[in-house]
Amino acid sequence: MIQQFNQLSTLEKKAKPFLKWAGGKGKLLEQISTFLPPELSAGKIKRYIEPFVGSGAVFIYLSQLYPIDEYYIFDINPELILAYNTIKTDVNQLIERLETIQSQYFSLDPDRRKEYYYETRTRFNQNRRGINFDKYSETWIKRTSQLIFLNRTCFNGLFRVNSKGDFNVPMGRYKNPLINNAKNLVKISKLLQKTQIILGDFMACDQWVDAETFVYFDPPYKPISNTSAFTSYSQQRFDDAEQLRLRDLFVKLDRKQAKLMLSNSDPKNEDVNNNFFEDAYQGYRIERVKASRNINSKATKRGKIDELVIMNYETRV
């Protein structure tokens, strides 16, 4: 435990996620790290796969601490995958554009900042249909800079889209948000040089999994109540049927002898008799960690709750 804490403290000088992200694991790294497979430290894991990369907190953490040969990150959100590929391909031009945006934004009074935010959000949504998400171009730099700006200045750092795929988060209340974190972006770009970045459903990872692979699943969480539901990272819904489809993949990859870890909400926070995950992952190891719940319509419903960590292996904890 002390060794893991020391490793985490060194991350203050290392890369961190470039986006704020609902459900991001940055604040849970210390707890999650105690459940990592021992094979990581022993150098027996040759490939790391994250099928729901999101802000990439776990990917960024592992890639700076362990001797892993290959990384594969996936997400079904095309905006997110475009951003990762842009940072990997041309981080310097992205930094230049972000510096311009930051300078413009900081020069404005509060009313003009609000106009700037909503004008940028409108252009971001209007231009989506003209973006070729399959082929890199300089338009990706502009789009990624807009995404980072909106993420850094919007309410609660959410990425949320409506049924049409439009980003619809209102402006947040930040005095001087860090829009252009150039040093961090350069560090992330270096990490991505040995990373395959793939747009696709979580099932797509199957072909790269073998006995020397560690897979970490961080899917959209199962809502623990009607008011806490938040699965709008993309236009696709992630309901119970999707949770069980993911369970089926977990079982399939377990048969390949890969090391598997999965995070999810704990329905027992609201209903102690709700055994959804115990039933779905019967026979696998299920542990609980404490997490802060920030996404809820009622402030009184926010605070520390249990989250699940499901594994197909034992650790020294």
Q: What's the rounded Cα separation, in Å, for the pair 305 and 293?
A: 7
Q: What is the pLDDT of residue 234?
A: 52
In the prediction, which pLDDT does 293 show?
61
Distance CA 63, CA 54 (A): 15
pLDDT score of 157:
81
| Listed residue (262, 256, 188) closest to 25, CA to CA | 262
234 in Cβ contact with 53 (< 8 Å) = no
**Concatenated DSSP letters of the chain:** -HHHHHHHHGGGGS---SS--TT-SGGGHHHHHTTS-HHHHTT---EEEESS-TT-HHHHHHHTTS--SEEEEEES-HHHHHHHHHHHHHHHHHHHHHHHHHHHHHTS-HHHHHHHHHHHHHHHHHGGGG--TTS--THHHHHHHHHHHHHHHBGGG---B-TTS-B-PPB---SS-----HHHHHHHHHHHTTEEEEES-GGGGGGG--TTEEEEE-PPPPPSSTTS---TTSSS---HHHHHHHHHHHHHHHHTT-EEEEEEE-GGGT-TT--HHHHHTTTSEEEEEEEEE---SSGGG-EEEEEEEEESS----
Backbone angles phi, psi at 199, to 5 degrees: -85, 120
| pTM, to two decimals | 0.89
Distance of alpha carbon 201 from alpha carbon 190, whole angstroms:
25
* Spatial CB neighbours of 289, under 8 Å, sequence gap ≥ 6: 28, 31, 32, 306, 307, 309
End-to-end CA separation in angstroms for the chain: 9
Return d(Cα 94, Cα 141) in angstroms, integer: 5
Phi then psi for residue 261, to 5 deg, are -135, 140
- Measured CA to CA, the distance from residue 23 to residue 312 in angstroms comes to 22
- Helical axes 182-192 vs 78-106, angle rounded to 10°: 160
Place of tokens 């959100």: 77
The C-alpha atoms of residue 207 and residue 216 are separated, in whole angstroms, by 15
Token pair belonging to 92: 């310097």
Q: pLDDT of the chain along its 317 residues, tens only?
A: 334 434 444 445 799 999 988 777 878 898 999 999 999 999 999 999 999 999 999 999 999 999 999 999 999 999 999 999 999 999 999 999 999 999 999 999 999 999 999 999 999 999 999 999 999 999 999 999 999 999 999 998 888 888 888 999 999 998 899 999 999 999 999 999 999 999 999 999 999 999 999 999 999 998 876 544 444 555 567 899 999 999 999 999 999 999 999 999 999 999 999 999 999 999 999 999 998 765 444 544 556 889 999 999 998 64
| Cα 209 to the center of its chain, rounded Å | 20
CB 197 within 8 A of CB 81: yes
**Strand partners for 310:** 262, 286
> Between β-strands 303-311 and 259-265, what pairing exists: parallel, antiparallel or unpaired?
antiparallel
